[in-house]
């Protein structure tokens, strides 16, 4: 692993921070100010990569020689993109929409070498099926506050685990960072987590 160059996580997500800590990476957090725009007319995989790249580029302006990891996660349900609810009412609406049905979680991530400009962007998708919930269960979960500021209004690693019936794909992608894919990409930048 690089000893002199800083590794920067360009994300304010505590979940992404925890995942990088889980695999033993040493890094700093610098979330930047980039505001993602889910209304851009791009396919979900392309949009996910685009948003992560823009986040990385935004933060890169503050560094001369660093590796930056940026990511963006959103939900696609019947071709509609769902971001993060900011109110309990929005959370209830999203959870009701997804209730008993499958949806796809897209996470785009970018690794950017500020010094050379080399970058790699990837998009990973995971299908998630919710179990059938009663209106009372939806409201009870929404009132916990956990769904707020989470893509799709749930946290699979928290109480949201009780509403997920099954997944097809990378579990960590649903949390917000596909670790296996990211580890392979980091090798291209000289960082080996399992050295």
What does 62-92 look like in DSSP terms, one character per residue? T-SS-EEEEEEEEEEETTEEE----SHHHHH
Question: What pLDDT is recorded for position 33?
Answer: 84
pTM: 0.91
Rounded Cα gap, residues 45 and 166, in angstroms = 22
- What are the pLDDT digits (tens) for 83-113? 889 999 999 999 999 999 999 999 999 999 9
Question: What pLDDT is recorded for position 2?
Answer: 42
Given a contact cutoff of 8 angstroms between Cβ atoms, the answer to whether 158 and 144 are in contact is no
- What are the pLDDT digits (tens) for 58-67? 999 999 999 9
Question: What pLDDT is recorded for position 49?
Answer: 97
Question: What pLDDT is recorded for position 35?
Answer: 81
* Domain 7-187 is found in CATH 3.90.950.10: yes
Three-class secondary structure of residue 28 per DSSP = strand
Of 80, 177, 56, the C-alpha closest to 124 is: 177
Rounded Cα gap, residues 77 and 167, in angstroms = 15
Confidence of residue 4 (pLDDT cuts 50, 70, 90): low
Could you list the active site residues?
72
């Amino acid at each position: 692993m690089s000893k002199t160059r800083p590794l920067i996580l360009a994300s304010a997500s505590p979940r992404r921070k925890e995942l990088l800590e889980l695999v033993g990476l040493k890094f700093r957090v610098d979330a930047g100010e980039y505001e993602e725009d889910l209304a851009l007319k791009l396919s979900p995989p392309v949009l996910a990569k685009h948003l992560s790249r823009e986040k990385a580029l935004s933060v890169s302006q503050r560094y001369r020689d660093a590796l930056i990891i940026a990511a963006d996660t959103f939900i696609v349900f019947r071709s509609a993109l769902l971001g993060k609810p900011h109110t309990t009412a929005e959370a209830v609406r999203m959870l009701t929409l997804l209730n008993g049905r499958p949806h796809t979680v897209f996470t785009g991530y970018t690794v950017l070498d500020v010094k050379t400009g080399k970058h790699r962007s990837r998009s990973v998708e995971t299908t998630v099926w919710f179990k059938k919930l009663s209106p009372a269960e939806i409201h009870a979960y929404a009132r916990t506050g956990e769904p707020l500021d989470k893509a799709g209004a749930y946290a699979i690693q928290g109480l949201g685990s009780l509403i997920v019936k099954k997944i097809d794909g990378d579990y960590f992608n649903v949390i917000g960072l596909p670790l296996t894919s990211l580890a392979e990409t980091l090798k291209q930048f000289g960082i080996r987590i399992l050295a």
